Chains A and B, each alone.
Chain A
């Protein structure tokens, strides 16, 4: 035994205890800061979604007039129903229900109760089925935005009449309809079945959703194979030298370029130079593909890099060629990572507004595109257009459209997570 026993370190000394307490304290602070950060992030998210839902929920219902209506044969020619006077028909439908002393000679603006589009809804119904002429049928017609707001309780009747959008008389007449049980507020399927409109009560997202879908499809078809091809070449075949370094740096730079610049590029090259039409999802998709490409290349390269070298060696060791190694082993193992990166890139593209504004996808287009070469809007640009519109009904519709867009984004991210977990391999 040496003297070392006498000099044994005192682990219970006050200094050591103080040091230990200090360490515990700083760890506690770090944890609290982290928790605080997460709490702030979550409350910001809750605030965002909460405010969107609170302003957007009214747009998911729409006030309708639900009545029995006689399709008056005097107003139309059965052989050519398209040219019938459906404006009068819509008028009659309202006037027939307003009993109590309303001036049916137009001074009470009874026609304004129904949406301006109601006549076309009626026309389409009759044109699709001319046998209805002369029959009495149940119809469900959207009411105009002012009355929609009234029924949803957004019109303050204490406001002086002259600065209110509905006069006392108009409210009185509408209340008669409500009392008669002719007014209902069903789920607003028109939000998904109609394209854009000047009239908020019938404006829908169909054109924007289909436009976005076409643009994303074009974007995917272009950027997925090109991105994977570029990543495979750079990662597996390209010699490592100055030029490949330069390319790598520039791909990373490209991923950081503001999207509006890609929009300008699309405008100059695709529309200006190639002479492709404006406002079409095809050009939108090509522009978005420029933006998504670097994201996909970077994600694919990272996924390829993460494939363990032992698998490559194993395949090379039994005499697989480089190409067989890449396509038989590396790519399948990298696929979950590639798909995740691609979906996240596409989700980014789906939410991108600026490049689409520059190529004119913020045009006012009232029909859904039937091919990628028809003019259309996209979801983010539709939100942009609606946010710009003064009608009260567009306020809630803007929030509703944002909620729809968020739903698509969350769905895409969920798919990405699902794919990653499903196809992830363990070794």
Chain B
């Protein structure tokens, strides 16, 4: 099993965004995540890779407590965001999700206007009191998501009328509009064509300057292209975690090597 404390010993504590210790996740009686320890660094793109059903999405959804919405799901262990235990009683999951934004596999804009899609988060959190402030927040978010130039003249048209890639960038804009510190992305490009995928990847690279980005992906090329850190999950275990270059060129574990070379998964 991969040992966090040793290989990341040189890591400055203030660089750590998420610190997970002994995380176990159960769906009813089935254990989906077994004893995962990991430190996710700030202002870094971290990829979670692994074969289907390995638990990478489940673990991702633990980081903003989306698993809370599943009745039979139980999370054990400790996950700290900036040192604060996010499963502590005092933490409101609703507030947490504003700080840890999420982008889903399938673009899922609300059946509302582009403007309302982006403005929704800031509105419900009371982040902008005045209309001008809200306009500014929406513009900034859309610019951050690289969508502003394409939609600035039709902000009142339905978000569902955009192309797939534009919809996904709209969802990213919606997520960054609440000024999160971390962006979780669950296979954000799996429903997109290569051009839209390239745009999103470029965008993720830019977002790294402001956010810590964690992305689940099935494409190892994608993980290699965009991430600095990669975590390989297999059968609920975190098998290996380290610099992307190292994982892809010189993996320590045989299972990682098998997966990367296409023999398992």
Q: Indicate the size class of the contact surface on chain B.
A: 20 to 34
A317 touches B110 (CB 8 A): no
Given A311-B108, A314-B110, A314-B171, answer yes or no on A239-B71 (Cβ-Cβ < 8 Å).
yes
What is the distance, in angstroms, from B60's C-beta to the closest C-beta of chain A? 12
A317 touches B124 (CB 8 A): no
Given A316-B97, A317-B97, A321-B94, answer yes or no on A310-B125 (Cβ-Cβ < 8 Å).
no
Please name the residue on chain A nearest to B109 by beta carbon.
A314
A317 touches B104 (CB 8 A): yes
What 0/1 readout, one digit per residue, does chain A (238-271) give for beta carbons within 8 Å of chain B? 0110000000000000000000000000000000
Chain A residues near B109 (CB-CB < 8 A): 314
B111 touches A317 (CB 8 A): no
* Pair count A-B, CB < 8 A: 68
A427 touches B111 (CB 8 A): yes
Chain B residues near A333 (CB-CB < 8 A): 111
Chain A residues near B166 (CB-CB < 8 A): none
Q: Is A315 on the interface with B (CB-CB < 8 A)?
A: yes
Q: How far is the CA of A427 from the CA of B106 in the complex (A)?
A: 12
Chain B residues near A329 (CB-CB < 8 A): 110
Chain B residues near A317 (CB-CB < 8 A): 64, 66, 97, 101-104, 175
Chain A residues near B97 (CB-CB < 8 A): 316-319
Chain A binding surface SS class: helix
What 0/1 readout, one digit per residue, does chain B (202-245) give for beta carbons within 8 Å of chain A? 00000000000000000000000000000000000000000000
A240 touches B71 (CB 8 A): yes
B98 touches A318 (CB 8 A): yes
B94 touches A319 (CB 8 A): yes
Please name the residue on chain A nearest to B120 by beta carbon.
A318
Chain B 42-76 residues near chain A, CB threshold 8 A? 64, 66, 69, 71
Chain B 75-94 residues near chain A, CB threshold 8 A? 94
A316 touches B124 (CB 8 A): no
Q: Is B174 on the interface with A (CB-CB < 8 A)?
A: yes
Please name the residue on chain A nearest to B174 by beta carbon.
A318
Q: Is A19 on the interface with B (CB-CB < 8 A)?
A: no
What is the distance, in angstroms, from A413's C-beta to the closest C-beta of chain B? 26
Q: Is B178 on the interface with A (CB-CB < 8 A)?
A: yes
Please name the residue on chain A nearest to B171 by beta carbon.
A314
Given A239-B71, A318-B97, A319-B97, answer yes or no on A324-B124 (Cβ-Cβ < 8 Å).
yes
**8 examples of A-B residue contacts, CB within 8 angstroms:** A310-B104, A311-B108, A311-B110, A314-B109, A317-B102, A317-B104, A318-B175, A427-B111
Residues in B lying within 8 Å of A, measured CB to CB:
64, 66, 69, 71, 94-98, 101-104, 106, 108-111, 120-121, 124-125, 160, 171, 174-175, 177-178
